[in-house]
Amino acid sequence: MPKSIPISVRLSNEDVAFLAEFEMQGARTPSDKLRGILKNAREQAEGSQDVARCEAMLRDLLRPAERKVRQSQRDNNIRSDFVIKLYQRLPEIVADLTASAHVDVLDRDQLERMEADLAAELFSLIEEVFDLGLTSQSRTYDPQLMQEKLKPVLEIAQLLQLKSADAAQKVIADDQ
């Protein structure tokens, strides 16, 4: 570990209060938190983020909000698997989008791979959201939410299925 150099910093009361409340994984003391903030700023400035680092930073950013939501759920004796799922999955998706921006120029293969990765993650999330709609009373704050919100999506899916069936019939007709 490189030698540490002590420095003195003057902070406003507002900044001290912020630092006391600021949550960062593995950081307990104000010094730990400041080192973590500097490390994240350095990684961003140097453009050296990879997907895993970016995802960890996003999770750090979301962690205080997620904790508050989870505590509120416990206090109110309700739960939303939908909300928790978003806290879990969105950092992965946004990390892929963000990390790809740190490459100076993406060639066609890289763009196609990025798109395929994003599609896999997004459609996996969509499947998980659809799973929440399997029961008549979804695991959301409003038990009717998924049934209500999935109706137009299911209509679109049916239209896509009809379009696909029409295209298949056209191919069969052209082959005859």
Phi, psi of 107 (to 5 degrees): -85, 175
pLDDT above 90: residue 171: no
Per-domain residue ranges for the chain? Answer: 14-48, 64-175
pLDDT tens digits, 13-32: 999 999 999 888 888 999 89
Q: What's the pTM value of the predicted model, to 2 decimals? A: 0.69
pLDDT tens digits, 43-85: 776 644 678 878 888 898 899 999 999 999 999 999 999 999 9
pLDDT band at 119 (very low <50, low <70, confident <90, very high): very high
Percentage of residues in the chain having pLDDT higher than 90: 46
Task: Give the dihedral of Cα atoms 92, 97, 99, 100; nearest 10 deg.
Answer: 140
